[in-house]
């Protein structure tokens, strides 16, 4: 089967089982789970990423979906019009809609352009950094249609370089291999400079985490920077300097970065150097828990401490262990905050909702012998829209406590 025929209508038909919740899908829920689709021989033999028309159990068309028989999310809704043709023009229209939203918010082309299902492109993440974009095709259909996707991206945005970052847990769940390559244009020479909140960040788009930079914390970085004006910040799990570089740009006197990755710390230092503030930073490489214990033993105190760890609860199965880890972070971080100072705690685990995360943080602070008031509850920036039907799209929580 050639790829051209693979995506040309008429599409095969797949059907919901009688127990599936058809009404939820009609109202905007974008996923069909394994067990909710009739898996006859023809459906089971569809190639991962194949396009199909979804019908309910009474054979009424519901829209065009992409099917992956190997995934727990067996089908993803692409378009609620059963007559839609999915190709470069269709992708371009979705991208143009996403671009219009970002251009209404930001003055410069540095943002998350596509936030997967919330922007109508299931499993697709695109971060834009000027004339370069990083695409994460985390669903089988996007991997199979990477050519039309990149072509539409260049046409709509005018970017001249596109990195395909085919790595991460989500691709494994789809049965996709890992691969990071240039999909368009020439390889960038070194890290890409990204301005945000008055700071300069350096993104390793070919070897860093995810797309090389995290835009989602932008409003929370800005709030933390206000708290740190004229003071000292400890940025734990700093990656390339998210909170700390924003704090320096906002007038912080000094920032200490802590991260397990030497490469990430080098990028954080590089950002400070690009801002002419290299003399106002220090870095500790190693396990964040060990580093916080060591700082406490040294009697170190900071005006603002921020902890932005990786997802400790990436799934429901990991929730209990993840909440214990968040509690431990809070317990070790709280003693490092001066009296009247601020503690910022973050979670990017969609399995841990705000109430559970907040309770874990409060327990940790209490176990450290401290008390605090919540002064800020933050979420991802507006370039990371939330699909109301899909809790997974609203994964980020950031709390600032005054201790």
Please provide the average confidence, as pLDDT, over all residues in the chain: 95
Q: Is 348 a catalytic residue?
A: yes
Domains of the chain, residue spans? 3-79, 88-184, 192-402
pTM of the shown model? 0.94
205: closest CA among 237, 183, 227? 183
In whole angstroms, how far apart are CA 208 and each of 109, 130, 167, 215, 270?
Answer: 20, 18, 11, 14, 14
Catalytic residue among 307, 346, 348, 361: 348
The CATH topology of domain 192-402 is Rossmann fold (3.40.50)
Q: How high is the pLDDT of residue 392?
A: 79
Burial letters for 180-212: b for 16+ Cβ neighbours within 10 Å, e otherwise? eeebbbeebeebbebebbebbbbbbbbebbbbb
Tens-level pLDDT at each residue, the chain (403 residues) = 334 445 778 999 999 999 888 889 999 999 999 999 999 999 999 999 999 999 999 999 999 999 999 999 999 999 999 999 999 999 999 999 999 999 999 999 999 999 999 999 999 999 999 999 999 999 999 999 999 999 999 999 999 999 999 998 889 889 999 999 999 999 999 999 999 999 999 999 998 778 889 999 999 999 999 999 999 999 999 999 999 999 999 999 999 999 999 999 999 999 999 999 999 999 999 999 999 999 999 999 999 999 999 999 888 899 999 999 999 999 999 999 999 999 999 999 988 999 999 999 999 999 999 999 999 999 999 999 999 988 877 899 999 999 9
Strand partners, 55: 15, 61
338: closest CA among 295, 291, 397, 288? 295
- How many Å apart are CA 232 and CA 256, to the nearest integer? 8
Q: CATH for 88-184?
A: 3.30.750.80
- How many Å apart are CA 214 and CA 83, to the nearest integer? 37
What are phi and psi for residue 377, nearest 5 degrees? Answer: -120, 110
Scan for tokens 């054979």, then name that residue.
59
Q: How high is the pLDDT of residue 315?
A: 86
Q: How high is the pLDDT of residue 394?
A: 82
List, as one string, the DSSP characters of 168-186. Answer: SHHHHHTTPPPEEEEEESP
What are phi and psi for residue 60, nearest 5 degrees? Answer: -95, 125
Do the Cβ atoms of 332 and 296 come closer than 8 Å?
yes
254: closest CA among 236, 272, 274? 272
Tokens of 367: 């176990």
pLDDT in tens, 22-41: 889 999 999 999 999 999 99
Complete edge-to-edge strand list for the sheet that includes strand 110-115: 110-115, 124-129, 132-137, 161-166, 179-184
- How many Å apart are CA 144 and CA 212, to the nearest integer? 23
Q: How high is the pLDDT of residue 181?
A: 95
Q: How high is the pLDDT of residue 5?
A: 42
Q: How high is the pLDDT of residue 6?
A: 57
| Domain range 3-79, CATH class | mainly beta
């Amino acid at each position: 089967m050639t790829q051209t025929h693979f995506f040309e209508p008429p599409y095969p038909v797949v059907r919901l089982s009688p127990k599936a919740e058809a009404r939820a899908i009609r109202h905007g829920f974008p996923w069909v789970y394994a067990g909710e689709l009739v898996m006859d021989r023809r459906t089971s033999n569809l190639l991962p990423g194949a396009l199909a028309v979804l019908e309910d159990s009474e054979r009424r068309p519901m829209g065009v979906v992409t099917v992956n028989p190997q995934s727990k999310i067996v089908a993803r809704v692409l378009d609620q019009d059963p007559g839609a043709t999915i190709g470069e023009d269709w992708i371009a229209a979705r991208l143009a809609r996403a671009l219009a939203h970002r251009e209404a918010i930001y003055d410069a082309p540095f943002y998350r352009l596509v936030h997967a299902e919330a922007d109508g492109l299931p499993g697709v993440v695109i971060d834009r950094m000027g004339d370069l974009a990083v695409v994460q095709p985390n669903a089988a259909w996007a991997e199979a249609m990477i050519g039309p996707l990149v072509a539409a991206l260049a046409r709509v945005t005018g970017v001249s370089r596109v990195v395909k970052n085919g790595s991460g847990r989500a691709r494994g769940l789809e049965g996709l291999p890992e691969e990071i390559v240039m999909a368009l244009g020439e390889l960038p020479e070194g890290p890409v400079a990204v301005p945000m909140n008055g700071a300069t960040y350096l993104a390793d788009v070919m070897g860093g985490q995810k797309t090389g930079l995290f835009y989602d914390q932008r409003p929370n970085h800005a709030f933390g920077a206000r708290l740190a004006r004229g003071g000292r910040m400890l940025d734990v799990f700093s990656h390339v300097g998210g909170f700390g570089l924003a704090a320096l740009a906002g007038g912080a006197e000094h920032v200490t970065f802590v991260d397990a990755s030497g490469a990430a710390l080098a990028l954080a230092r590089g950002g400070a150097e690009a801002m002419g503030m290299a003399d106002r930073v220090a870095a500790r490489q190693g396990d964040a828990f060990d580093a916080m214990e060591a700082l406490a033993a040294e009697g170190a105190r900071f005006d603002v401490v921020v902890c932005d760890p990786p997802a400790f609860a990436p799934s429901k199965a990991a929730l209990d262990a993840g909440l214990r880890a968040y509690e431990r972070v809070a317990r070790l971080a709280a003693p490092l905050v001066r009296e009247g100072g601020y503690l910022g705690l973050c979670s990017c685990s969609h399995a841990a909702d705000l109430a559970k995360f907040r309770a874990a943080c409060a327990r940790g602070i209490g176990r450290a012998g401290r008390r605090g008031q919540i002064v800020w509850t933050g979420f991802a920036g507006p370039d990371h829209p939330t699909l109301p039907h899909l809790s997974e799209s609203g994964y980020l929580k950031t709390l600032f406590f005054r201790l």
